[in-house]
A and B are shown apart, each in its own frame.
Chain A
C-alpha cells in the first residue's frame, strides 16, 4: 500500500499513505464535474449551484467522517443519521426550551452525541452485542426518543440569535465578499482536517487502525481494547452531534422524524472513498471525496433534468463501480 515514489511522498504524507488511490478517486470527481460542466455550462458551473453542492455535502460529509472511524475498526454504526437528529433535538431543548446560551447549547449537543456513542460502545464491548445490532437498537431507541421529546413537532430556533449562522452565515464571505462559502462548508473542511490529523498522528488513530486490522493481536499485546473501542464510538458520536447542529442550523429547526437513511448515504460515501468495510484501511480525504462524488452526481443529474428513477439507478451503479475498481486495484497489488 505504501509504495509512494519519492516525488509524491509529500502527497502520500498528506493523504495518509494512499496517494494513488486518492488521486484516482479525485480524478473521478473531476471527470464528473467536467462532464456536467460540458453538458450544462450555464446552470451547473454557476456560483449559486456550486455553493448549493457544497451546502448539500456538509451534513452527509460530517456523518461520513464519523462513520469512517467506526468502519476502520471493522465496526458499523447504523445510528449516525438518527443520532444526528437526536442531537439536533437536544440542541433545541437546550437553546429554545431552556434558553441556554448558544455556545453552551452547542457544546451540550456535541456531548450528548458522545454520550450516545459511549452507550453504543459499552453495549458492543461490555454486553458483547455485535455493532450492527447494538447500533440498530440505538437507532430505533433514539428515533423514538426524538419524537417523544419533541411531542413529534419540529422545534424552531427562530428565537436563538445567530443559530442559523452556524450553517448559513459566511465568515469567509465577510472577509472576501467574492467567496460566499457558507460556514457549514468551512466546518466540514476544518473537521475533516482535524479528523485526518487524529486518524494519522495520534494514539486514537493508531488504535482505530489496529482494532480493524487485528483486534486479537492488539488485545494480546496488553492494550485495553474495550476502552479504545468505546473512545472511538464516543468520538464518532460527538461528530454526529456536529452534524446535528449543522442540519438544525440549516433548517433553523430540529425535525424529529428526519435522519433515517442518512447512515446509508454516509456509508456509501465512505466506501466510495476507498475505506474497506472489513476494517483496517481508510482515509478521511477519501471519504470527503466520496461524499462529493455522491452530491455532485445527484446535483448534476438534477440539473440535467434526469428522471428521478434514473438518478437512483445511476447512483447505485456508480457506488458498485467505484468499489469494484478499488478492489481490482487492491488485488493487483
Chain B
C-alpha cells in the first residue's frame, strides 16, 4: 500500500518537475494577478499580456480566483507571486484595501506594481491600465436614448453590486439618463451575477412587471446574453438591448438583431498595456497615473471594422 502511494507521489513529483522546466530563472518575470481567469474577458486580457511578453521578451504568468468575491484567495495568489521574487507585478484588485500589506511588501522589495482593470487606493501602484467604466456606460445610455427615441421606460440588469465595474457601469448609465434624458425613466435595476440563466429570468420578470418597457442595459457579457435569451423566450420584440463586452453568443445576438449593440472595452489592450507599463517601469521610465485603454460602441454595421474586430473576442 505504502509502496503504491510512494509511486503515486513520485509520479506527481515528476509531473511537477516537467512543469518546472518550463519556468526557468534569470529572466524578466512578471506575474499578473487578475480578478478571474475563466471568463472570455480575462482570457482576452491574458492574450494581450502574452503578446506583450513576446514583443518585449519577458515571461508572464496569469492567475486569478474562480469568482470575483474570493478576496482572500486572490491575496494568497499575490503572496505566492511575491515569493517567486518577480521583476514586476500586474495586479487587478478585488478589494484594494485588503491587499495593501502585501503591496507594501512589494514596495519594500522594490518590485514595481502595475494595476490593471481597476485601481488600487494607494500610491504604491505606479499606474493603472483600465477602462473608464462610467464614461463607457454613459455611451451605452446615449445609444439607448437614440434607439428608443428619447423617451420611455428602461431597466438595468447588472452583474454585481459590489465591484467597481458593477457599480461604475450601473451609475454611469443611470446618471447619464438622469442628466440628459428627462423623459426616460430607469424603472428597475436587478442583478444576475453575470449568469446567463439568472439574467434571462430577470429579463422575463422585468417584461412582466413593466409591459411598457422599451429598453434593457445588460452591464456585462452574461447580463446582456441573458437579457437577449429572456426576450426570445418571452417572444417579445421591440425592446432595445444594449450590452457590454463581447463573446460569441453576444456577437451572434447582435447579428440576428436581438441585441441592438454593445460597448466593448479593449481587454487585449488592458493586458498588453499592463505588461508594457511594467517593462517601462523596470527601465525607469515615468508613467502616467492612468492608462485609459479605451472603449467602443459596436453593432452589426461596424463589427467587421478592423479597429473593432481587433478588440472583440469570442
Residues of A in contact with B (beta carbons under 8 Å apart) = 24, 28, 31-32, 35-36, 39-40, 42-44, 46, 48-49, 52, 55-56, 59, 147, 152-154, 156, 168, 247, 250-253, 255-261, 298-308, 310, 314, 318, 321, 325, 328-329, 332
CB–CB A253/B95 < 8 A: yes
Closest chain-A Cβ to B192's Cβ sits at a distance in Å of 14
- Is B110 positioned at the interface, with any CB of A under 8 Å from its CB? no
Also in contact, A40 and B95, with CB within 8 A (given A48-B83, A257-B160, A325-B1): no
CB–CB B162/A152 < 8 A: yes
Per-residue A-contact encoding for B44-87, CB less than 8 Å = 1, 0 else: 00000000000000000111101101111001110111111100
Residues of B in contact with A (beta carbons under 8 Å apart) = 1-2, 4-6, 8-9, 12-13, 15-17, 19-20, 22-23, 31, 37, 61-64, 66-67, 69-72, 75-77, 79-85, 95, 97-98, 101, 105, 160-162
B1, B13, B97: the one within 8 Å of A253 (CB):
B97
Known A31-B13, A305-B23; 16 more pairs at CB < 8 Å: A31-B6, A31-B9, A36-B16, A39-B16, A40-B20, A43-B84, A52-B79, A154-B95, A250-B75, A258-B70, A258-B71, A302-B80, A304-B16, A318-B12, A325-B5, A328-B4
Also in contact, A308 and B63, with CB within 8 A (given A168-B101, A251-B72): yes
CB–CB B22/A305 < 8 A: yes
CB–CB A255/B95 < 8 A: yes
Closest chain-B Cβ to A177's Cβ sits at a distance in Å of 17
With a cutoff of 8 Å between Cβ atoms, the chain B residues found around residue A153 in the complex are 161-162
Closest chain-A Cβ to B40's Cβ sits at a distance in Å of 14
B1, B63, B69: the one within 8 Å of A255 (CB):
B69
CB–CB B162/A247 < 8 A: no
With a cutoff of 8 Å between Cβ atoms, the chain B residues found around residue A255 in the complex are 69, 71, 95, 162
CB–CB A252/B80 < 8 A: no
Complex: A24 Cα to B85 Cα, angstroms: 33
Also in contact, A305 and B97, with CB within 8 A (given A24-B2, A39-B17): no
Between-chain CB contacts (< 8 Å), 8 pairs? A24-B2, A36-B16, A247-B72, A250-B75, A302-B63, A305-B84, A318-B12, A325-B8
CB–CB B69/A35 < 8 A: no
CB–CB A252/B98 < 8 A: yes
A256, A258, A259, A303: the one within 8 Å of B84 (CB):
A303
Complex: A32 Cα to B12 Cα, angstroms: 9
Also in contact, A325 and B4, with CB within 8 A (given A39-B17, A261-B67): yes
CB–CB B8/A304 < 8 A: no
Residue of A nearest to B94 (CB): A255
Closest chain-B Cβ to A268's Cβ sits at a distance in Å of 14
With a cutoff of 8 Å between Cβ atoms, the chain B residues found around residue A257 in the complex are 69, 160, 162
CB–CB A258/B69 < 8 A: yes
B12, B64, B83: the one within 8 Å of A52 (CB):
B83
CB–CB A24/B5 < 8 A: yes
Complex: A28 Cα to B85 Cα, angstroms: 28
Residue of A nearest to B70 (CB): A258
With a cutoff of 8 Å between Cβ atoms, the chain A residues found around residue B95 in the complex are 154, 251, 253, 255
A152, A253, A314: the one within 8 Å of B12 (CB):
A314
Closest chain-A Cβ to B271's Cβ sits at a distance in Å of 15
CB–CB B79/A154 < 8 A: no
CB–CB A304/B85 < 8 A: no
Residue of B nearest to A57 (CB): B76
Complex: A253 Cα to B16 Cα, angstroms: 36
A39, A55, A302, A325: the one within 8 Å of B20 (CB):
A39
CB–CB A152/B80 < 8 A: no
Complex: A250 Cα to B102 Cα, angstroms: 12
With a cutoff of 8 Å between Cβ atoms, the chain B residues found around residue A325 in the complex are 1, 4-5, 8
With a cutoff of 8 Å between Cβ atoms, the chain B residues found around residue A307 in the complex are 61
With a cutoff of 8 Å between Cβ atoms, the chain A residues found around residue B16 in the complex are 35-36, 39, 300-301, 304, 306
Complex: A227 Cα to B176 Cα, angstroms: 58
Closest chain-A Cβ to B110's Cβ sits at a distance in Å of 15
Residue of B nearest to A257 (CB): B69
Q: What 10 A-B pairs have minimum CB-CB distances, sorted nearest first?
A: A49-B83, A152-B161, A302-B80, A52-B79, A257-B69, A56-B76, A251-B98, A35-B13, A305-B23, A258-B69
With a cutoff of 8 Å between Cβ atoms, the chain A residues found around residue B8 in the complex are 321, 325
Residue of A nearest to B60 (CB): A305
Complex: A252 Cα to B63 Cα, angstroms: 23
Also in contact, A306 and B19, with CB within 8 A (given A48-B82, A251-B98, A253-B95): yes
CB–CB B162/A256 < 8 A: yes
Complex: A56 Cα to B71 Cα, angstroms: 12
Complex: A152 Cα to B15 Cα, angstroms: 43
CB–CB A28/B1 < 8 A: no
CB–CB B1/A303 < 8 A: no
Complex: A306 Cα to B15 Cα, angstroms: 11
With a cutoff of 8 Å between Cβ atoms, the chain B residues found around residue A39 in the complex are 13, 16-17, 20
Complex: A28 Cα to B80 Cα, angstroms: 22
